[in-house]
Chains A and B, each alone.
Chain A
Amino acid sequence: MSSSQLRLARLFLRLYPKRFRDRYGAEILAFLGQELEQRGPLARLGRYLVSLLNLISNALLLRWESLPESRPFLILMTPLAGDLELPMPRMLMSDLKYALRSLFKRPMGTILIVVTIALGVGINTAMFSVVHGVLLQPLPFSQAERLVQVSQTDVANQVFYGGVSYPDYLDYVERQSAFESLAAYQSRIRTRTGGEFPELIQVSDVTPSLFNTLGVYPERGRLLAAADAEPNSANVGVISYRYWQNQLGGDASSVGSLLTIDGETLEIVGVLPDGRAFPAGSQVIRPMRRELDPDLRGVHDIGVIARLASGTSLQQADAQIRAIMQDLEQEYPEHNEGRGGVVRPLLQNTVRQVDDMLWLLMGAVTLILIITCANIANLLAARAESRRREIAIRCAIGASPWRLVKQFLTESVVLALMGGAVGIGVAAVALAVLKSIAPADLPRMDEVSLNGVVLVFGFGVTLLTGILFGLLPSRVAVRQQHAEDIKDGARGSEGAAAGGTRRVLVIVQIALAFVLVSGTTLLTRSLIKAESMDPGYNAEGLVSAGISLPQSKYPWSWRDYPHGPAVMPFYEELYQALARQAPLSQFALAMQGPADPAWTSQIDVPNQGPHAPIAQQEEYIRLIGPGYLPTTGVPLLVGRNFTAQDRGDAPAVVIVNESFVRKFFGDAPAVGETLSFWSREREIIGVVKDVRFQGLDREPAPAVYGPLLQNPGNGISIVARSQGNTESALRALRTALVEVDPDIALRQVSTVNDLLHGQLSARRFNLSLFGVFAGLAAALAFIGVYGVMTYAVNSRRFEFGVRLSFGATARDLLTETLSRAAKLFVIGLTFGIPVSLLAAGFLSSELVAVGVYDPVSYLIVAVLMILGVLLASLIPARKAAASDPLTALRAE
């Protein structure tokens, strides 16, 4: 045992009667020492703590064994004490009534404690319920822990969660033995027509094995069968529960009715149970009908999930897939070179983008729990102080000290119970609020519900704190001389010790609150910087909209490349229609809108400068029409823009951005160089400025721009500006589209500014949560300061009286009290700053243009908090200044 452990154990030994101590004390310490000997450090600590608890509870039991009355709280102690020797205790109603009466004699204090407990427990429970529902709870499929995602990787190009191509998937099915079943899926937003307006709908095409793999049974009707994927079978689909309820009214006749999607009609054959739509958000699920096309082995457009066969481990499956990918690399080098495979648990894959942030938030609320406990301890200690006289009198007239201990314990438990009950309510409300403000792309939020385990945990922690600190008044009861305490204005060594404890608690609170507030400040400054970041183009007054061309009407496939016999006429007509719209001053077509992330593709850059690392890279590709650069206001730095002549079989050209040039050519000029992708060599004809198309908070990446007319597809975006306001521009877009084809719906119709704003919504959500936590922490800390300063002022009343009578001014006392508070703050700061810096390290991935050691942020926080601390101490300070010397002196 270390010497501090020894000292602590000795301290708790003093709970025992003296005779017991003398007799067994040394032995017990030796026992503890031996117990801890043969263990590893972690087990040692655990054993030590359990032994301490056991020591404490047995001490209390031993004491109570000598009491003649009944012992209601043994039932609490006996599990810890390991022995149920005494007859079953029963709760005495009078104990309870007495406790309630004494608690409500000081209503403010009681309410404050109950509210503090409720906040700490409630917010903790709500946050953990989110963490549990999103990150820890298994997916809602049978034996979900055996579900995995099979992804491809391309380490050289930083691809780790890559999609799979259909031919590769078929090879997986044929060559694998680790899985009970596999399934492939692809999800797209399409248009449903036939209703009043065309409606956007999320449609997933899946192999019929999906439902088997997941273990899903239909709510109504049937699910997809292998026969449904046959090329000439009838068009069928199943719908999600939510779609059935919301869009079809939960009508029983939905099964058997028809849906028209992208011009193709299918029959609804079944409804999925609630929450079982996969991929998440799917509204309609159709059978995937594809043939094996060997040329498309390089198109990684599907996702693959699987269920592990019984007896197979994740590692075995992973190894098998890796081996298969190695074989495929040998067999099809032009498509699969450098591509590997990986198998991960499906849950992990689904939540990988949010787990860091959620754990961070969990850390924040844990800090709040600690601060809450400190506050409770403080409040209880304050209460103990104020009752000191009462207790001392009772002891002096013969009350048994252990009876009082029992009473204090009852009060603490009652307080904890009340706080816990209110805490459940707080948790429910907080959770409802969280669910309503969560960003739409936070996965699994609808599976989140109140978690009983955490409620019990949080409650248990506060109960423990309550009990430990609720027993503080008993220190008074135990002492032999009560005369000192009965005297007015008493302050003995006990007072100083208790005051010291409270000061320490407040310092801890200040430090932790500082951590939270500084974290929030860093995040806030990041958000502000991100929002004001220059996107690289002129987003003011710019609007955009997206279009998906239905396959049935505008068939397009990679085979048509670089032509698009069905889609090109659409482009032409749309272009004409847009030109006819008077409000539009500028417009252009592109494959992706300015706020859409781009695709990546393998690019070969044969003649690179000395700085380029590898020949073949996966880079971003953006396809734009000739009017795009002028409309969006992206400056062309060198060379020329695309023209209407750059189409079809004309010489293939591209424009690259600055980052691309830097990466591949260094300082050498890029114009005139060639690169190739999609089996075509292309000449670089221009260089543009970098654009933040992945979001304002991300650094711009190298990108290649190709002419839309040379690389058509069936999903495009329109960007436009109007002479009037953005409303007129958006209306013009809709009008133009209706003129060309009224059956197509626009999606993501919005001003570009709104889109950019929306990209930051997750960040904003996190910030608002942090803000709430930080605010709570700071408020608790300030309350703590208030409590400590009040106590300090009260206990020094005599001293103030003396000084006033010797000529000190009220102002002197005021400044002195305030400076004491400031001193507390500074001490709290010296602990808080290093911890903040440490914690900020965890935040670094979330920070934008704001360093972890950003001095401005910390300065702001320090100033804010010192103001709060001073404000909180103002009332007690003024009371100190207002001390009347005569009353103060007379009290002695």
Chain B
Amino acid sequence: MYYGAMTISPNPSSYLPLTEVEFEIMLAMALKPIHGYGVMKDVEQRTQGRLKLRAGSLYRALHRLQKKRLVEDVPLKQGEDQRRRRYALTPLGREVAHAEAERMERALETARACLKPEGSR
């Protein structure tokens, strides 16, 4: 990575589209920092059981998000151990999440327009 790259903020839309798992994880930490197990519970609840993240998938996705700098881990407070580490969206991550939501909205509008049935009902 170039030094220079550190100061140039990348274009959020270059991270799109996000996978479903990535997006859901990011939504889970939208409001406040949250640890791994909490992410899983939140996603499960929000998708009404449709998306059940297990340990392997969750942490692989988190790893990916962290590599892309969309998610960061919150520094541990004193006395907290590693297992209760929490994650939060980076400012870039927040932008990317918004961009993804907008993209989905536009896609939905286009789809609705194209799929309107012939003639009126």
A binds B: yes
Seen from chain A, the residues whose Cβ lies within 8 Å of a Cβ on chain B are 20, 23-24, 26-32, 34-35, 50-51, 54-59, 61-62, 81-85
Choose from A23, A29, A30, A82 the contact partner of B53 (Cβ within 8 Å): A82
21 contacts between A and B (CB under 8 A): A24-B63, A27-B85, A28-B56, A30-B36, A30-B84, A31-B37, A31-B40, A35-B37, A54-B56, A55-B56, A56-B56, A61-B60, A81-B60, A82-B21, A82-B53, A82-B54, A83-B21, A85-B19, A85-B21, A85-B22, A85-B61
How many angstroms from the CA of A32 to the CA of B40 in the assembled complex? 11
Known: A35-B55, A82-B21, A82-B53. A30 touches B83 (CB 8 A): yes
B59 part of interface (Cβ distance < 8 Å):
yes
> Which residue on chain B has the smallest CB distance to residue A34?
B37
Q: Is the C-beta of B58 less than 8 angstroms from some C-beta in chain A?
A: yes
> Whole-angstrom distance between the alpha carbons of A134 and B57 in the complex?
43
**Known A31-B40, A83-B19: A54·B57 in contact at CB below 8 Å:** yes
B120 contacts A by Cβ under 8 Å: no
Given contacts A31-B36, A54-B55, 7 further A-B contacts (CB under 8 A): A24-B63, A34-B37, A54-B57, A55-B56, A58-B57, A62-B63, A81-B56
Inter-chain CA distance A35–B62, complex, in Å, is: 18
B57 and A83 contact, CB distance less than 8 A:
yes
A residues near B55, Cβ cutoff 8 Å: 28, 31-32, 35, 51, 54-55
Taking the nearest CB of chain B, how far is it from the CB of A589, in angstroms?
A: 75
For B64, give the chain A residue with the smallest CB separation.
Answer: A85
- Which of B21, B53, B82 is within 8 Å of A27, CB to CB? B82
Interface 1/0 per residue, B34-60 and A, CB below 8 Å: 011100100000000000111111111
B36 in contact with A27 (CB, 8 Å): yes
Q: How far is the CB of B77 from chain A (nearest CB, A)?
A: 16
Which residue in chain A gives the minimum CB-CB distance to B56?
A58
CA distance A58 to B57 in the complex (A): 6
How many whole Å from B21's CB to the nearest CB in chain A? 5
Task: Decide yes or no: A51 and B83 within 8 Å by CB, A31-B36, A82-B21, A83-B60 being known contacts.
Answer: no
CB distance from B73 to the nearest CB of A (A): 9
| A20 B56 Cβ-Cβ under 8 A | no
Interface residues, chain B, with chain A CB atoms under 8 Å away: 19, 21-22, 35-37, 40, 52-64, 81-85
- Whose C-beta in chain A lies nearest to the C-beta of B18? A85
8 closest cross-chain pairs (CB), A and B? A58-B56, A30-B83, A54-B54, A82-B57, A54-B56, A55-B56, A58-B60, A85-B19
Given A31-B37, A54-B54, A82-B53 in contact, is the A24-B59 Cβ separation under 8 Å? Answer: yes
Contacts known (A27-B83, A31-B37); A84 close to B19, Cβ less than 8 A: yes
Which residues does chain A contribute within 8 Å of B36, judged by CB atoms? 27-28, 30-31
Q: Could you tell me the distance between the alpha carbons of A62 and B56 in the complex, rounded to whole angstroms?
A: 10
Tell me the minimal C-beta distance from A762 to chain B in angstroms.
Answer: 49
Q: Which residue of A lies closest to B84 (CB)?
A: A30
Q: How far is the CB of B65 from chain A (nearest CB, A)?
A: 11
Would you call the interface of chain B mostly helix, strand, loop, or mixed? helix
**Which residues of chain A are near B59, meaning CB under 8 Å?**
20, 24, 27-28, 31, 58
Contacts of A23 in B (CB 8 A): 63
Given A55-B56, A82-B57, A83-B57: A26 and B63 within 8 A (CB)? no
B residues in contact with A26, CB < 8 Å = 81-83
Q: Which residues of A contact B84 (CB under 8 A)?
A: 30
* Bound form: Cα–Cα A682–B100 in Å: 97
A586 to B14, CA, bound (A): 104
> Contact: A50 with B19, CB < 8 Å?
no
- Report B-chain residues with C-beta under 8 Å of the C-beta of A35: 37, 40, 54-55
A265 and B82 CA atoms in complex are apart in Å by 92
Q: Which residues of A contact B35 (CB under 8 A)?
A: 27
Nearest Cβ in chain A — how far from B61, in angstroms? 7
Determine the residue in chain B with the shortest Cβ distance to A17: B63
Query: Which residues on A sit within 8 Å (CB–CB) of B37?
Result: 30-31, 34-35
Residues of B within 8 A of A30 (CB): 36-37, 83-84
Q: How far is the CB of A771 from chain B (nearest CB, A)?
A: 45
In the bound complex, how far is the Cα of B33 from the Cα of A528, in angstroms? 76
What's the minimum C-beta distance from B53 to chain A, rounded to whole angstroms?
7
B residues less than 8 Å from A81 (CB atoms): 56-57, 60
Complex Cα distance, B52 from A251, in Å, reads: 62
Q: Kindly report which residue of chain A lies nearest to residue B60, judged by CB atoms.
A: A58
Chain B positions within 8 Å of A61 at CB level:
60
| B contact residues around A31 at 8 Å (CB) | 36-37, 40, 55, 58-59
Query: Cβ of B19: which chain A residues have Cβ within 8 Å of it?
Result: 83-85
Residues of A contacting B56 in the complex (Cβ-Cβ under 8 angstroms) = 28, 51, 54-59, 81-82
- Identity of the chain A residue whose Cβ is nearest the Cβ of B82 in the assembled complex: A26
Among B60, B82, B84, residue most surrounded by chain A Cβ atoms (within 10 Å): B60
Bound-complex Cα distance A293 to B82 (A)? 87
Question: What is the distance, in angstroms, from A451's C-beta to the closest C-beta of chain B?
Answer: 31
Partner of A83, one of B40, B61, B83: B61
Considering the chains assembled together, what is the distance between the CA atoms of A35 and B39 in angstroms? 12
Contact between chains at B63 and A20 (CB < 8 Å): yes
Q: Residues of A contacting B64 with CB < 8 Å?
A: 85
Chain A nearest CB from B46 CB (Å) reads 16
Alpha-carbon distance between A82 and B83 when the two chains are bound, in angstroms: 23
CA distance A28 to B83 in the complex (A): 8
Query: In whole angstroms, how far apart are the Cα atoms of A29 and B84 in the complex?
Result: 11
| In the complex, chain A residues whose CB is within 8 Å of the CB of B22 | 85
State in angstroms the CA–CA spacing of A23 and B83 once bound together: 10
Closest residue on chain A to residue B19 by CB atoms? A85
Q: Look across to chain B and name the residue whose beta carbon is closest to the beta carbon of A24.
A: B59
Residue among A27, A35, A85 with the highest chain B CB neighbour number at 10 A: A27
A20 to B58, CA, bound (A): 13
Q: In whole angstroms, how far apart are the Cα atoms of A50 and B83 in the complex?
A: 22
* Cα A180 to Cα B33 with chains together (Å): 63
Chain B residues near A56: list those with CB within 8 A: 56
Contacting residues, chain A, for B81 (C-beta < 8 A): 26
List residues of chain A with CB within 8 A of the CB of B61: 83, 85
What is the CA–CA distance of A26 and B36 in the complex, to the nearest angstrom? 11
CB-CB < 8 A to A24: which residues of B? 59, 62-63
Distance from A36 Cβ to chain B, minimum over Cβ atoms (Å): 11
**Which one of A20, A51, A84, A85 contacts B54 once the chains associate, using CB atoms below 8 Å?**
A51
Min CB distance, A227 to chain B, in Å? 54
A50 with B54: CB separation less than 8 A: yes
By beta carbon, the residue of chain A nearest B73 is: A23
Complex CA distance for A26 and B22, rounded to whole angstroms = 22
A486 to chain B, nearest CB (A): 34
CB distance from A52 to the nearest CB of B (A): 9
Write the chain A residue with the least CB distance to B54. A54
Q: Which residues of B contact A55 (CB under 8 A)?
A: 54-56
Q: Which residues of B contact A27 (CB under 8 A)?
A: 35-36, 59, 82-83, 85
A337: min CB distance to chain B, Å: 58
Shortest beta-carbon distance, B43 to chain A, in Å? Answer: 11
Task: Give the residues in chain B near A28, CB-CB below 8 Å.
Answer: 36, 55-56, 59
Chain A residues whose CB sits within 8 angstroms of the CB of B57 once the complex forms: 54, 58, 81-83
Measured in the bound complex, the distance between the Cα atoms of B35 and A81 in whole Å is 20
In the assembly, what is the distance between CA of A396 and CA of B58, in Å? Answer: 35
CB distance from A30 to the nearest CB of B (A): 4
Task: Give the docked Cα–Cα distance between A81 and B40 (Å).
Answer: 15
Q: How far is the CB of A39 from chain B (nearest CB, A)?
A: 14
Q: Which of A56, A81, A85 has the most C-beta atoms of chain B within 10 angstroms of its own C-beta?
A: A85
How many Å lie between the Cα of A31 and that of B54 in the bound state? 9
A50–B37 Cα gap in the complex (Å)?
16
CB of B114, distance to nearest CB on chain A (Å): 24
Q: Which residue of B lies closest to A81 (CB)?
A: B57
Kindly state the separation between the CA atoms of A58 and B37 in the bound complex, as whole angstroms: 17
Shortest C-beta distance, B34 to chain A (Å), equals 13
Measured CA separation A59–B57 after assembly (Å): 9
* CA gap between A50 and B55 in the complex, in Å: 10
State A34–B82 Cα separation when bound (angstroms): 15
> What is the CA–CA distance of A82 and B60 in the complex, to the nearest angstrom?
11
Q: How far is the CA of A466 from the CA of B95 in the complex (A)?
A: 46
The residues of B that contact A58 with a CB separation of less than 8 Å are 56-57, 59-60
Docked Cα-Cα span, A54 to B40, in Å, equals 14
